[in-house]
Amino acid sequence: MKVLWAPWRMEYILSDQKGGECIFQTGDDRSGDVERLILYVGPLTMVMMNRYPYINGHLLVAPIRHVPGLENLTEEETLDLLVTVRKSIGVLKKEMSPEGFNVGLNLGRVAGAGVEEHMHFHIVPRWSGDTNCMTVFGDVRVIPEHITETYRKLLPHFQEFK
């Protein structure tokens, strides 16, 4: 049997995902944004990279307000959220040239929501041949570029949102 080491997964496996502050709570202090992989914070919506991505460029777009579902959003928040999703897809197209996208919401724990109390969109860029059996057989994802390098490439585009 061959062994594939993925030591970065231990941080996720051992993390206390139920305690502490919500990952989408931005606050007023922007000094930790790079460490938290936050690309954009607007008046109603924020964008951050998924720390445990399915593939390079996996983004999370969330309302600033801490709400569990679409029904809890105001009309203004709903529009701003979808416009930010659209702009984020535009950034990924420009910088990473994906051939397609998976975009969606996981609402509720049984639907796969990892942070069910704060709704958020997943934007996952896709390329032909980007999937393989590693996730299914080895519970491992193969990500070809380091997450901080992807962050460095995307950040200037999100700074243009302001």
Give me the active site residues, please.
120
Write phi, then psi, for 153 (nearest 5 degrees): -70, -40
